[in-house]
Structure 1
Amino acid sequence: MIARGSSGVSQRTMAATFALGCIVAAATRAEAGLVVSVEAPGVMSSKVSGITTETFDGLPPGIASSLDTAVGTLASRGRFAILNADSYGGADAGGEYISLGAQSGSPAPMTLTFASPQAYFGMWWSAADAYNEITFYSGQQALGSFNSPFVLDALNALPDGRKYYGNPNGWGDASEPFAYLNFFGTGGTTITSVVFANSGTTATGFESDNWSIASVAPSTIRGTIIAGAIVPEPSSLVLAGVACAAGGLAAVRWRSRRTR
């Protein structure tokens, strides 16, 4: 016979309910821990104070698999490309930008590793498309993934959404949005590395520029917040739920002994 508490609900049911509540709570914490916002149309660089920025300007154009940048070490098992400004990228009508996928001829992801934990990351997302993927890590733990299709829909839904379309330097590409994104760590959340991918395809490119970081969380979140832009990692939610359920089951058993 299954021991029951004073409420008449089985230990197993109470533990399962407790686990579900823990998973939901964990999802909420993950969303709150990494907040995404978008700057106004036409903004191509971070407006956060106290930042360090990699503009990619002055680097030799071409294909590479590793690079020491102003914001961290970049490495790929494949290749990425440093390109002169064109219709797909290059902030402020000049300089250079970075891309993987179509321009590099490689679908392999690239990883940006910071020298120390950072509470803020920003980038100019140029010629944006739904294949572009970003995953944020704190040590070995994935914090969550950037939901590109969702964010593209969110940009379209903004009152000035159509103003994001087309290279703001006047270089065409009217079918794709160009937007500066901010990723803020809240509640003590920090990022140690960022993985960029392009859904394993070279049919499109993942273009970006003006990567910025800050080790101290900004006092205010700039821009328009896009709720739901980060998808929490399922593994972290399940582990949180299992641990929470174990605690809940122990509490139920203790309560059962007290009420016999």
Structure 2
Amino acid sequence: MKFHSPLLSLLAVLSLTSASQAGISIYLSPNGIETAEASGILNVTTETFNSRANGSVNNFEGTVGTYTTLWGGNVDNGNIYSGATQGKYLGIQADSSTTLTLTGDVAYFGLYFSAGDGGNSFAVKSNGTTIFSFNTAALLAMLPRTDEGRITAINGQQYLTKNYYGQPGTGHNGTEPYAYIHIIGTEGTTFDQIVLSEAPNTAVFENDNHSIRTTAPELPDTLVHIPTAPAPLPIPEPSAAIIGGIGALLLLRRRRA
């Protein structure tokens, strides 16, 4: 019995290690686009916040779900930090977060990311568990405000990264980027909550035009894929690992004999 117990533990570990991981991909629209619909994403439901009174978003039942916040999540009138033609927007104050509990499981969430700073972040959750998180500092690193900066769309077209800076249509606030971000569940992954946060001692996470789809959309080839993490290390084949474990256990028994 002492021999079988470690082997069963090894098998259990291998089973957990080889379990499939949730898949999330992030894409960016061409500069100047402020909605999922204008990005070419079809059949979405969108919350624009235009029908919401200014002030706290806590317990706001919107078209895509329910927003909750202890403090710091507020709807405000459009200004140079929001979309030029989009009306009201949602602002997340420094050192606060707002949770959006979606109307159900979805495989797509889009949001307009305006006047971006390195303190913005979002987490994607399923059944209370975070399956993906993203800090927009990584996005800012992809969008240098230089003449040489380029990013490449799915179709190979290149966009000047400096053109993402400044409010579309007005050019105001030219030191911060504005872009529409797409969060897509891959390989059957779905999620039911989004948590939007702003780090302490920073500014405000301005965002707008939250869109959802229950299924992953067909991607327009004008979108840009945003790398989010290095490829995972390969997992050893279970058969090889089991053989190695059995060999080690047999050797241990011989030494004890």
Whether TM-score is above 0.5 comes out as yes
2:27 equivalent in structure 1: 37
Structure 1: gaps (5+ residues): 4-10
2:210 equivalent in structure 1: 211
TM-score, normalised relative to structure 2: 0.75
2:156 equivalent in structure 1: none
- 1:219 deviation in Å? 2.9
Question: Per-residue displacement from partner, 1:228-251 (whole Å, max 9, x unpaired)?
Answer: 2x699xxxx9xxx9xx99997655
2:51 equivalent in structure 1: 58
How many pairs were matched up? 223
1:80 equivalent in structure 2: 73
1:179 equivalent in structure 2: 179
Q: Which amino acid aligns with 1:166?
A: G
2:111 equivalent in structure 1: 123
1:154 equivalent in structure 2: 142
Distance 1:231 1:249 in 2: 24
User: What SS does the aligned partner of 2:139 have?
Assistant: helix
Distance 2:117 2:108 in 1: 23
Answer whether contact 2:84 2:167 (CA < 8 A) is retained. no
Answer whether contact 1:36 1:226 (CA < 8 A) is retained. yes
TM-score, normalised relative to structure 1: 0.75
Give the structure with the larger helix fraction: 1
RMSD: 3.3
Question: Per-residue displacement from partner, 1:126-148 (whole Å, max 9, x unpaired)?
Answer: 00010001011111221121131
Distance 1:114 1:247 in 2: 41
Q: Identical aligned pairs, as a percentage?
A: 26
Distance 1:166 1:200 in 2: 24
Q: Which amino acid aligns with 2:213?
A: A
Q: Which amino acid aligns with 1:95?
A: G
- 1:256 deviation in Å? 6.1
Distance 1:55 1:196 in 2: 16
User: What SS does the aligned partner of 2:176 have?
Assistant: coil
